[in-house]
Structure 1
Amino acid sequence: PPPASGIHSSREAEGVGCHADDMLTVKPPQLRLPPLLRSSSSSSPAAVPWFSPPPPDPPDPILAAVSDAILAAAPGETLDSSSHRLRRVLPSFTPSHFVSLLAGNPFSLPAPSLLSFFRWLSLQPPQLFRHTLETYLSMAHFLCRHRMAPDAAQLLRTVVSRKGKNSAHHLFSAVLRTSADAPRHCSPHPSFFEAMVAAYADSEYVSDAIQCVRLMRKSRFRIPLGACALLLDLLMKSNSPAAAWAFYSEILGYGFPPNVYTFNVLMHSFCKEGKVKEAHLMFDEITKKGAKPTVVSFNTLINGYCKSGDLDASFELKKLMQEAGVFPDVFTYSALINGLSRERRLEDANEMFKEMCSRGLVPNNVMFTTLIDGHCKDGKVNAALDIYQEMLRKGVMPDLVTYNALVNGLCKFGDLQKAMLVVEEMKKKGLKPDKITYTTLIDGCCREGDLETASEIRREMMKETVELDDVAYTALISGLCREGRVIDAERILHEMIGAGMVPDEALYTMVIDGLCKKGDVRFAFNLLKEMQKKGHKPGVVTYNAIMNGLCKLGQMKNANMLLNAMLNVGVIPDDVTYNILLDGHSKHGDAETLKELCHEKGMVSDFATYSSLINESIKKSKAQQSR
Structure 2
Amino acid sequence: LSYPGNSSNRHTLHSYCTMIHLLCTHQMLIEAKSLIQVVVSRKGKDSASDVFEAILETKGTQRSDFYVFSGLMIAYLESGFVRDAVQCFRLTKQHKIRVPFDTCRKVLEHLMEFRYFKLVWDFYKEVLECGYPASLYFFNILMQRFCKEGEMRLAQSVFDAITKWGLRPSVVSFNTLINGYIKLGDLDEGFRLKSAMHASGAQPDVYTYSILINGLCKEGKLDEANELFNEMLDNGLVPNGVTFTTLIHGHCKNEKVDLAMEIYKQMLSQGLSPDLITYNTLIYGLCKKGELKQVHDLIDEMIMNGLKPDKISYTTLIDGSCKEGDLEIALELRNKMIQESIRLDDVAYTALISCLCREGRASDAEKMLREMLSVGLKPDNGTYTMIINEFCKKRDSKTASKLLREMQRDGPLPGVVT
Shift of 1:373: 1.4
1:171 counterpart letter in structure 2: V
2:26 counterpart letter in structure 1: H
Task: Describe the shift of the 1:459–1:311 C-alpha distance in structure 2 as closer, same or farther (beyond 3 A).
Answer: same
Q: Distance in 1 between matches of 2:328 and 2:113?
A: 50
Q: Which residue in the other structure is 1:155 paired with?
A: 35
The answer on whether the counterparts of 1:223 and 1:254 sit within 8 Å (CA) in structure 2 is no
Task: Describe the shift of the 1:139–1:510 C-alpha distance in structure 2 as closer, same or farther (beyond 3 A).
Answer: farther
Shift of 1:504: 4.3
Q: Which residue in the other structure is 1:544 paired with?
A: 416
Q: Check if 1:344 corresponds to 2:211.
A: no
168, 172, 184: which one pairs with 2:52? 172
Task: Give the superposed CA RMSD.
Answer: 2.8
Q: Distance in 2 between matches of 1:504 and 1:275?
A: 39
Q: Which residue in the other structure is 2:127 paired with?
A: 251
- Give the secondary-structure state (helix, strand or coil) at the position aligned to 2:87: helix
Task: Describe the shift of the 1:196–1:328 C-alpha distance in structure 2 as closer, same or farther (beyond 3 A).
Answer: same
Q: Which residue in the other structure is 1:216 paired with?
A: 92
Give TM-score scaled by structure 1 length: 0.61
Q: Which residue in the other structure is 1:432 paired with?
A: 308
Summarize deviations over 1:10-68 as a string: whole Å, max 9, x none: xxxxxxxxxxxxxxxxxxxxxxxxxxxxxxxxxxxxxxxxxxxxxxxxxxxxxxxxxxx
The answer on whether the counterparts of 1:193 and 1:224 sit within 8 Å (CA) in structure 2 is no
The answer on whether the counterparts of 1:267 and 1:283 sit within 8 Å (CA) in structure 2 is yes
Q: Distance in 2 between matches of 1:444 and 1:498?
A: 24
Q: Check if 1:401 corresponds to 2:277.
A: yes
Shift of 1:126: 3.4
Q: Distance in 1 between matches of 2:117 and 2:332?
A: 50
Superposition pairs for residues 412-427 of structure 1, below 5 Å? 412-427=288-303
Q: Which residue in the other structure is 1:363 paired with?
A: 239
Summarize deviations over 1:370-403 as a string: whole Å, max 9, x none: 1111112222222212211111111111111111
1:359 counterpart letter in structure 2: N
The answer on whether the counterparts of 1:197 and 1:213 sit within 8 Å (CA) in structure 2 is yes
Summarize deviations over 1:483-532 as a string: whole Å, max 9, x none: 44344333333322322334445544554555556555665555455445
Q: Distance in 2 between matches of 1:520 and 1:339?
A: 54
Summarize deviations over 1:75-130 as a string: whole Å, max 9, x none: xxxxxxxxxxxxxxxxxxxxxxxxxxxxxxxxxxxxxxxxxxx4xx249x936655
Alignment gaps of 5+ in structure 1: 1-117, 547-627
12, 15, 22: which one pairs with 1:142? 22
Q: Which residue in the other structure is 1:307 paired with?
A: 183
The answer on whether the counterparts of 1:168 and 1:209 sit within 8 Å (CA) in structure 2 is yes
Q: Distance in 1 between matches of 2:379 and 2:145?
A: 36
The answer on whether the counterparts of 1:201 and 1:234 sit within 8 Å (CA) in structure 2 is yes
Q: Distance in 1 between matches of 2:380 and 2:164?
A: 54
Q: Which residue in the other structure is 2:66 paired with?
A: 190
Q: Distance in 1 between matches of 2:116 and 2:384?
A: 41
Shift of 1:256: 3.7
2:345 counterpart letter in structure 1: D
1:144 counterpart letter in structure 2: C
Shift of 1:172: 2.6
Q: Check if 1:384 corresponds to 2:260.
A: yes
The answer on whether the counterparts of 1:516 and 1:545 sit within 8 Å (CA) in structure 2 is no
- Give the secondary-structure state (helix, strand or coil) at the position aligned to 1:543: coil
Q: Which residue in the other structure is 1:274 paired with?
A: 150
2:278 counterpart letter in structure 1: T
Superposition pairs for residues 421-500 of structure 1, below 5 Å? 421-500=297-376
Question: Which 10-residue stretch deviates more, 236-245 or 428-437?
Answer: 236-245
263, 266, 270: which one pairs with 2:139? 263
Task: Describe the shift of the 1:412–1:145 C-alpha distance in structure 2 as closer, same or farther (beyond 3 A).
Answer: same
Summarize deviations over 1:124-162 as a string: whole Å, max 9, x none: x93665555445433321122233334422332344345
Q: Distance in 2 between matches of 1:534 and 1:231?
A: 53
Summarize deviations over 1:441-482 as a string: whole Å, max 9, x none: 111111112121111111111111112223322332333344
The answer on whether the counterparts of 1:241 and 1:266 sit within 8 Å (CA) in structure 2 is no
The answer on whether the counterparts of 1:376 and 1:406 sit within 8 Å (CA) in structure 2 is yes
Q: Distance in 1 between matches of 2:170 and 2:229?
A: 23
307, 321, 333: which one pairs with 2:197? 321
Summarize deviations over 1:190-237 as a string: whole Å, max 9, x none: 221111111222333222212222333344433553211111123334
Q: Check if 1:200 corresponds to 2:76.
A: yes
- Give the secondary-structure state (helix, strand or coil) at the position aligned to 1:544: coil
Q: Which residue in the other structure is 1:18 paired with?
A: none
Task: Describe the shift of the 1:144–1:409 C-alpha distance in structure 2 as closer, same or farther (beyond 3 A).
Answer: same
Summarize deviations over 1:278-298 as a string: whole Å, max 9, x none: 422332122233322111111
321, 346, 354: which one pairs with 2:230? 354
Q: Distance in 2 between matches of 1:508 and 1:171?
A: 69
Q: Distance in 2 between matches of 1:164 and 1:468?
A: 54
- Give the secondary-structure state (helix, strand or coil) at the position aligned to 2:415: helix
- Give the secondary-structure state (helix, strand or coil) at the position aligned to 2:416: helix
1:289 counterpart letter in structure 2: W
Q: Check if 1:331 corresponds to 2:207.
A: yes
Shift of 1:440: 0.7
The answer on whether the counterparts of 2:17 and 2:58 sit within 8 Å (CA) in structure 1 is yes
Alignment gaps of 5+ in structure 2: none
Task: Describe the shift of the 1:167–1:520 C-alpha distance in structure 2 as closer, same or farther (beyond 3 A).
Answer: farther
The answer on whether the counterparts of 1:306 and 1:335 sit within 8 Å (CA) in structure 2 is yes
Summarize deviations over 1:390-426 as a string: whole Å, max 9, x none: 1111111111111111111111110111101111111
2:323 counterpart letter in structure 1: R
Larger RCO (alpha carbons 8 Å, 6+ apart): 2
Number of matched pairs: 418
Q: Distance in 1 between matches of 2:409 and 2:119?
A: 46
2:34 counterpart letter in structure 1: Q
The answer on whether the counterparts of 1:260 and 1:293 sit within 8 Å (CA) in structure 2 is yes
The answer on whether the counterparts of 1:217 and 1:223 sit within 8 Å (CA) in structure 2 is no
The answer on whether the counterparts of 1:368 and 1:388 sit within 8 Å (CA) in structure 2 is yes
The answer on whether the counterparts of 1:149 and 1:192 sit within 8 Å (CA) in structure 2 is no
Q: Distance in 2 between matches of 1:354 and 1:330?
A: 12
Q: Distance in 1 between matches of 2:396 and 2:92?
A: 79
